[in-house]
Amino acid sequence: MTDRSAINELTILFDHILEEHGFGWDHWHSLLWNLHNVRPEDWDALPVGGGRTIRELVIHIGRGWAVYGDNGLTGKPRQWGDDDLDGILPGTSPAEVERWLRAAHARYREALTKLSDHQLDDRAEAVWGEKFEIRRLIELQIQTSFYHIGEINHIRALLQGNDDWDHQDMGREDEQ
Amino acid sequence: MSNENHDIENPLVSQLVGLLDHTLEESPEQFGTQHWHSLLWNLHNVRPEDWDAQPAPESRTIRDIVKHIGIVFLGYENHVFGDGTRAWDDPAIDGVLPGDSPAEMISWLRETHARFRNSIARLTDSQLTELCPWGDPWTYQRIIEVVIQHPVYHIGEINYARAILQSNNDWAHMDLGRESGE
């Protein structure tokens, strides 16, 4: 055990939100993997009855990393909706969005890895004003990302007409 | 999180147990309004008629996804900590099936979650980096991580299905009505 073992554990969990490697076919939960099969026309489309697009959810995830990382972990003020990450903006193409996502993820990750384990029980102010343990604030980022990645997958499946178990990982196995 | 699971001897295991616990349920007393990701919370607003409704023709229902989450808890528990003989589509616990009503399903979910949770809670921190009995060379830590990721991912899918079925798939209704049920 070191004074950063718990932080390292959380960092691994946080890393795998964005991307996973080396896990055979069991890497279906990460964001980039779940965007792999999103067609260009799916990004701004709504399934019947849907109200939130894949693009909206992706931006929401990245914005959360930037805002919660800056405010919750480093104490730098960042307003919800301020998507400028040192000049990198979400853009519109999938490649531009991915570049911005990586920048947002790296920003939060950098702040996370500067913490030590004894700080995890400290309390910090969340964006909405309540104070929580820093461990809990980190957990929220892990939870909310996977939650919305699941929503992204459901939109994709509904748009592509393959919302069944057989197509949960449609076509992606072939490209490992 | 640390208060409810804190284990001085095995803080890394207890941290993972806390994360796993919150996939099922989070304490409103501790976390205020920020408990929207847990399974039971996301089932709180599912109407009885939503459980078997399809958000689109031939799509998965909320019941399908809930059963899948529970079955995966049972499957991973058996294949990592048990005799490895459980079929991956078997929902039975000691011969008892989940039942049909929301109350029966939730009772079953609690038991499926508890089985996996109790097994990982017996691990020590030093075991987390050991390879577990699994077909692929996975550590206990990685297996636990997958079983934390997996329900939250599908809970998001449940929420999107619920929102379509209830015609309130927008940001303002992400937590619709659940605040008043606290």
pLDDT single digits (tens) B42-96 = 998 899 999 999 999 989 999 999 999 999 999 999 999 999 999 999 999 999 8
Secondary structure (DSSP) of B113-152: HHHHHHHHHT--GGGTTSBPSSSS--BHHHHHHHHHHHHH
Interface check for A29 against chain B (CB to CB < 8 A): the answer is: yes
Per-residue pLDDT of B113-136, as tens digits, reads: 999 999 999 999 999 999 998 877
What does the alpha-carbon distance between residue A46 and residue A158 come to, in Å, rounded to a whole number?
A: 9
Parent domain of B61:
3-180
Interface check for A117 against chain B (CB to CB < 8 A): the answer is: yes
Position B179 pLDDT exceeds 70? no
Interface check for A12 against chain B (CB to CB < 8 A): the answer is: yes
Output the pTM of the full model. 0.93
- Per-residue model confidence (pLDDT) at position A176: 46
How many Cβ atoms sit within 10 Å of the Cβ of residue A46?
Answer: 16
First to last CA, chain A: 35
Count of structural domains, chain B: 1
Closest CA to B65 of A142, A154, A158: A154
Chain B contact set for A24 (CB, 8 A): 136
Determine whether the interchain pair B160/A13 forms a contact, defined as Cβ–Cβ distance below 8 Å.
Answer: no
Per-residue pLDDT of A151-161, as tens digits, reads: 999 999 999 99
- Per-residue model confidence (pLDDT) at position B3: 41
Position B1 pLDDT exceeds 50? no
- Our CA-based measurement puts residue A168 at a distance from the nearest CA of chain B, in whole angstroms, of 11
Secondary structure (DSSP) of chain A: --TTHHHHHHHHHHHHHH---S-TT--TTSHHHHHTT--GGGTT---TT--S-HHHHHHHHHHHHHHHIIIIII-----TT---BTTB---SSHHHHHHHHHHHHHHHHHHHHT--GGGTTSEEE-TTS-EEEHHHHHHHHHHHHHHHHHHHHHHHHHHHT--SGGGTTTTTGGG-
- Our CA-based measurement puts residue B135 at a distance from the nearest CA of chain A, in whole angstroms, of 11
Q: How confident is the model at residue B169 (pLDDT cuts 50, 70, 90)?
A: confident
Position B178 pLDDT exceeds 70? no
**Torsion angle of the four alpha carbons B34, B13, B74, B100, in this order, in degrees rounded to the nearest 10:** -20
Q: CATH number, domain at B45? A: 1.20.120.450
**Which residue in A13, A35, A142, A147 has the most chain B C-beta atoms within 10 A of its own C-beta, making it the best mutation to test that interface?**
A147
- Our CA-based measurement puts residue B89 at a distance from the nearest CA of chain A, in whole angstroms, of 12
Q: How confident is the model at residue B29 (pLDDT cuts 50, 70, 90)?
A: low
Of A71-80, A123-132, B105-114, B167-176, least confident by mean pLDDT is B167-176
Closest CA to B86 of B97, B75, B71, B95: B75
Could you state, in order of their start, the residue ranges of all structural domains in chain A?
5-19+31-167
What does the alpha-carbon distance between residue B52 and residue A145 come to, in Å, rounded to a whole number?
A: 27
- Per-residue model confidence (pLDDT) at position B2: 40
Determine whether the interchain pair B19/A139 forms a contact, defined as Cβ–Cβ distance below 8 Å.
Answer: yes
Cβ proximity of B146 and B31 under 8 Å = no
- Residue B165, helix vs strand vs coil: helix
Q: Which residues pair with A88 in a beta bridge?
A: A85
Cβ proximity of A74 and A111 under 8 Å = yes
Interface check for A91 against chain B (CB to CB < 8 A): the answer is: no
- Per-residue model confidence (pLDDT) at position A115: 96
Position B33 pLDDT exceeds 70? no
Q: What is the mean pLDDT of chain A?
A: 90
Position B34 pLDDT exceeds 70? no
Closest partner residue to A155 (CB to CB) among B149, B160, B165 is B160
Position B180 pLDDT exceeds 60? no
Q: How confident is the model at residue A27 (pLDDT cuts 50, 70, 90)?
A: low
Cβ-based burial of A107 (10 A; exposed 0-12, middle 13-18, buried ≥19): buried
Mean local confidence (pLDDT), B2-25: 83
Of A49-63, A82-96, B5-19, B106-120, least confident by mean pLDDT is B5-19
- Per-residue model confidence (pLDDT) at position B181: 47
Fold of A5-19+31-167: Four Helix Bundle (Hemerythrin (Met), subunit A) (1.20.120)
- Per-residue model confidence (pLDDT) at position A165: 80
- Per-residue model confidence (pLDDT) at position A5: 96
Closest partner residue to A158 (CB to CB) among B18, B55, B165 is B55
- Per-residue model confidence (pLDDT) at position B44: 86
CA nearest B125 in A: which residue?
A1
Side chain identity, residue B139: T
- Per-residue model confidence (pLDDT) at position B177: 52
Chain A contact set for B123 (CB, 8 A): none
Position A135 pLDDT exceeds 70? yes
Interface check for A45 against chain B (CB to CB < 8 A): the answer is: no
What does the alpha-carbon distance between residue B44 and residue B4 come to, in Å, rounded to a whole number?
A: 23
What does the alpha-carbon distance between residue B23 and residue B150 come to, in Å, rounded to a whole number?
A: 9
Cβ proximity of A169 and A28 under 8 Å = yes
